[in-house]
Structure 1
Amino acid sequence: MPNMSALNPLTKEKEFGGVPGAFAITTGLPTLIVALYFLCNDSYVIDGSSIDLEALKSQFFKIDWVKDAFFNNSVWNFYLSWFFGLLALDLVTPGQYMEGITLRDGTKLGYKINGLNFISILSVSMIIRLYLNKGYSPELEFIYENFLELAVVSIIFSALLATFVFICSYIPLRSLNGLKTKERILSINGNSESGFYNWFIGRELNPRIGPVDIKLFCELKPGLLLWLAINFSCIHHQYWNSGTVCDALLLVNFLQLFYIFDGVLNEAGVLSMMDITTDGFGFMLAFGDLSLVPFTYCLQSRYLSLKPIHLGAATDVAILALMFFGYYVFHQSNQQKSDWKLGKLDGKNYKFIKTKTGTKLLCDGWWGLSQHTNYFGDWLISWSWCFSTGFNTPLTYYYVAYFGGLLLHRQQRDEAKCSVKYGEKWDEYKRRVPYKIIPYVY
C-alpha cells in the first residue's frame, strides 16, 4: 500500500493519463527504437518521404533478430561491462562534493561532481587505445554491427533496473544497529495506488546504493556517453569501409560531442533540474537515460554513415552558427536564472514579482522574453543537428519533433506546479511574460 504519511502524501493526480498512458509509453517508445532501426540500417534506408513496406517486412519478420537481441551473450557482456565499468570509474574518479536541494524531511543529499575528471580519463583512455590499434577500434565496430541488439538489451536492462529500485523503495532505511531511522522520500508523483504506475513514473525520489546515486549516474554517464560512442562508431565504420568521412557526418558529430561534453562538464547544474528535484527514478527515466537517448539521438549520424552528404563550407558554417546561437541563448538564460536564485543580480534593478512564499519571479532580461527562454535555445540546437542531414528525408527530423513535444510537456508540468504554488501571482507573471517558449511566437 502507498505510504500516506505527511512526508510522503498519496499521489492523487497522475501524469500521462495515468495507467493507460504509462502502458502506452512503456510499450510504444521501445517499439519506436526498433522501428527507427529498421528505417535506417545497412539493409534499408528510407529515402525521400516514401517507405518501401515490402523491404521493411522482409527485415522485420526475420525472427533471427529477436533471438540475437534477447539471447546474445556477447552483447549482454558488452553492455554490462560498459554500464558497470563506467560505474566503477565514477566511484574512483575524484571530484568536488556538493549538496543538493533541501528535501521534504529537511535534509540535503551530498553529490560527488566529477564530470571534468571523468571525461578526461575516459577520453585519454580512448585516444591511447586508438593509437595502439592504428585508428581501428574493435569496440566501435562491435557497437555499429550490433546496434539493434544493444538497443534491445538496454531496454531490458532499463526495465530490470526500474524493477530493482521499485522493490528497494519498500525496504525501510535502517541504521547499523538494525533500527529504522527514517522513511524513504518518495516522489510526489510516484506514490499512487497503482503499483505499475509507480514503477513507471518512479516511486523513490533519490534511490541510492551506498555512495552511488543511481538517478544522477544514469542521467549523465552511461546513456550520454553511449550516444557519443555510437556516433564515433558511425565515423569509424564509414572511414574503414570507404577511406573517407563526409563533412556532414563530421559536423553532426562535432555538434553533438560539444553538447554531450557540456552536459557532463556542467554536472552541478543538473542538481537543480526537475529530473533530480521532482521526478522519481522509475522506468520512464531509466529507459529515457539508457535507451531512448543513445539509440535515437544518434539517428542523424547513423543516416549519414549510410547516405554520405557533402554540405560544403558555407552550409557547415551556417549550421555551426545556428548551433552556437542556440547554445548562447540556452547557456546565458540558464546562467541568469542561476545568478538570480543566488542573489547575484539583486543590484541590477531587474523587474520581478514577489510571491507569498518569498520567492521573486524574474520577468526581465532573458526571462522577460519568454517563460522558458532556455528551452527555446535548446530547441534551436536540435534544428542544427537535423539540418546537417539535408532535406532528403523527414526521418532525420524526428528529433526536432520529439524534443519539441518533450519541451512543451515540461513547460506544461512547470506551469501546473507554479500555478498551485504561486496562485494569483503566477497569473500576474503570465500577463507580464505571455510567451511560453518561443519569444513573440508562443
Structure 2
Amino acid sequence: MPAETKSIWDHVQPISIDALTKTSGYLLSYLVCLFLASRFLPSIEAKSPKKTYQLTGLLIYLLLTVLIPIGYYTKKLSLLFIVENYVSFFIVINIFAILFSFYLFKRSAAVRAAPNANRPIDYWHGREKDPMLFGVDLKVFFYQPSLLGLALVNLALAEAQITYHGGLTPGMICYQLFWYFYLLTHYIREDFMLWTFDIIEDHFGFMLVWGDMIYVPFLYSIAGWFVADNYREPLSIPWVIGTLLLHFIGHYIFRESNWQKFDVRKYGPQVTIWGKKAQLLEGKLLISGFWGIGRHLNYTGEILLYLSIALCSGTLSFVPYILPFSLLILLSQRASRDDQRCRKKYGDKTWNRYCSIAKFRMIPFIY
C-alpha cells in the first residue's frame, strides 16, 4: 500500500490556463476521433418510426473493449489525466456545450428550418429535430461521447484506485463490471434508442447537448469517486453477493421489460416473449412478459440497477445513494402520471381490465 492515503479527489489539479488548454485539446481529439469512427466504420442499418440510421456504437464499444486493455498491458495508455484534470474537463465541456448549441441554433439549416426562432427557449430546445453534419446524425452521434465518456471516467477512477491506494477493491471490481455490462447491453440493442421520445420528437439544442456531455458522464460517475476511496473497509462477502444479485436482477428486469415492449412496437404482436406469442389486450396493451405482471416494472429494474451501483461504495457516504433514491421519487410520480394518461387514452373500462391483469405499478403487493 502506498504511504500516501489521500482521497482520490486530492489528486485533482487546480484550474489553470495550461490545464484548460490541455483538456480542450483532449476533448476536441476525442470528439473528432469518435465522429470519424461514426462516419467511416462499418455500420448497422436500423430504422426508427421516421427514418433509417447507420449505427456504429457497438463496433466502437467492442474496439475499445479490446484496445484499452492492450494499451494498459503494453503501458502505452493511462487515463489518470481524466481524474487529474476533472474540474478542468467539467469547465471545458460546459463551454463546448454552450458554443456547440449556439452553432446548432445559428447554422444555416437551422435558420431555414425555423427562421423566426430567436428566443432563449429555442436555443434550449434547438431549431432542428435531426441536424446532420457530413452525413452523420448529430443527435444520435452525441450518445457516443456521452456513454463512452462515462466508461472512460469509470476506468480512470479504477486506475486511480490502483495508483493511489494500491489495488482494486471488491467494490471497484463490481462497479466496473456493472457499468461495462450496462453499456454492452445498451449497444447490443442500440436501435432501441431510435424509438425513444428524445430521438423521435425532441429537437436538438442545449438541453440534449448538455445532458449528453455533462449530465451523463459527470453525474452517473459520482458513485465511482466514493468506490475508489473506500479502500480501508472493503465490502464484505455477503454485501458483494447481495449487490451482485440485486444488480443482475434489476438489470434483467430493466432491459428485458423495455425490449419486450420495443419488439412489439417494432415487429408487431407476432414476436415471442418468454417462449409464447405476445398477447395484447384489445389489440392495444401488452400483457405478456413483465407487462402482464406490472405496469411499470421497467422503472423498478432501473432503480434497482442504480441502487446496486451505489452499493459498490458501501457506507462511506450517502452521496452515491442520491441518484437511486431521487429516481425512486421521480419514477414513482411518473408511474402515477403514466397511469392517469393511459386511463384517459384507453378509457376506464379497458384500463381497469388491464390493471386487473397487471396489478402493480412498480412494486408487487406494495405499489
TM-score w.r.t. length of structure 2: 0.84
Per the TM alignment, residue 275 of structure 1 is displaced from its structure 2 partner at its CA by: 1.6
Cα shift readout 1:370-405 (whole Å, capped 9, x = no counterpart): 332212111110110111111232111122134335
Q: Which residue of 1 aligns with 2:22?
A: 74
Per the TM alignment, residue 77 of structure 1 is displaced from its structure 2 partner at its CA by: 0.6
- Correspondence 1:327-406 to 2 at 5 A: 327-341=251-265, 342=267, 343-345=269-271, 348=277, 350-354=279-283, 360-405=284-329
Letter paired with 1:383: L
CA contact (8 A) 1:93 1:114 kept: yes
CA contact (8 A) 1:224 1:293 kept: yes
CA contact (8 A) 1:418 1:426 kept: no
- Correspondence 1:200-279 to 2 at 5 A: 200-219=124-143, 221-279=144-202
Structure 1 runs not aligned, ≥5 long: 1-39, 45-58, 103-108, 173-183, 355-359
Relative distance call for 1:363 and 1:123 in structure 2 (3 A) is closer
CA contact (8 A) 1:69 1:150 kept: no
SS at match of 2:48: strand
CA contact (8 A) 1:353 1:362 kept: no
SS at match of 2:303: helix
Cα shift readout 1:257-299 (whole Å, capped 9, x = no counterpart): 1112221232111111122112222222111111111112111
SS at match of 1:171: helix
Letter paired with 2:305: I
Q: Which residue of 2 aligns with 1:42?
A: 9
Letter paired with 2:20: N
- Correspondence 1:56-135 to 2 at 5 A: 65=14, 68=16, 72-102=20-50, 109-133=51-75
Q: Which residue of 1 aligns with 2:95?
A: 156
Q: Identical aligned pairs, as a percentage?
A: 26
Structure 2 runs not aligned, ≥5 long: 1-6
Q: Which residue of 2 aligns with 1:180?
A: none
Mapped to 2, the partners of 1:156 and 1:68 lie a distance apart of: 15
Relative distance call for 1:247 and 1:84 in structure 2 (3 A) is same
Per the TM alignment, residue 419 of structure 1 is displaced from its structure 2 partner at its CA by: 6.3
Per the TM alignment, residue 417 of structure 1 is displaced from its structure 2 partner at its CA by: 6.5
CA contact (8 A) 1:89 1:118 kept: yes
CA contact (8 A) 1:363 1:429 kept: no
Relative to its length, the structure with more helix (as a share) is 2
Name which of structure 1's ranges 261-270 and 401-410 shifts more when overlaid on structure 2. 401-410
Cα shift readout 1:354-377 (whole Å, capped 9, x = no counterpart): 4xxxxx122454113333221211
Cα shift readout 1:145-194 (whole Å, capped 9, x = no counterpart): 0111111212221222222222236333xxxxxxxxxxx4x8xxxx9987
Per the TM alignment, residue 424 of structure 1 is displaced from its structure 2 partner at its CA by: 5.7
Matched pairs, number: 353
Q: Which residue of 2 aligns with 1:287?
A: 210
CA RMSD of aligned residues (A): 3.2
Q: Which residue of 2 aligns with 1:22?
A: none
CA contact (8 A) 2:19 2:88 kept: no
SS at match of 1:170: helix
Q: Which residue of 1 aligns with 2:77?
A: 137
CA contact (8 A) 2:192 2:259 kept: no
CA contact (8 A) 2:111 2:127 kept: no
CA contact (8 A) 2:230 2:313 kept: no
Q: Which residue of 2 aligns with 1:53?
A: none
SS at match of 2:54: strand
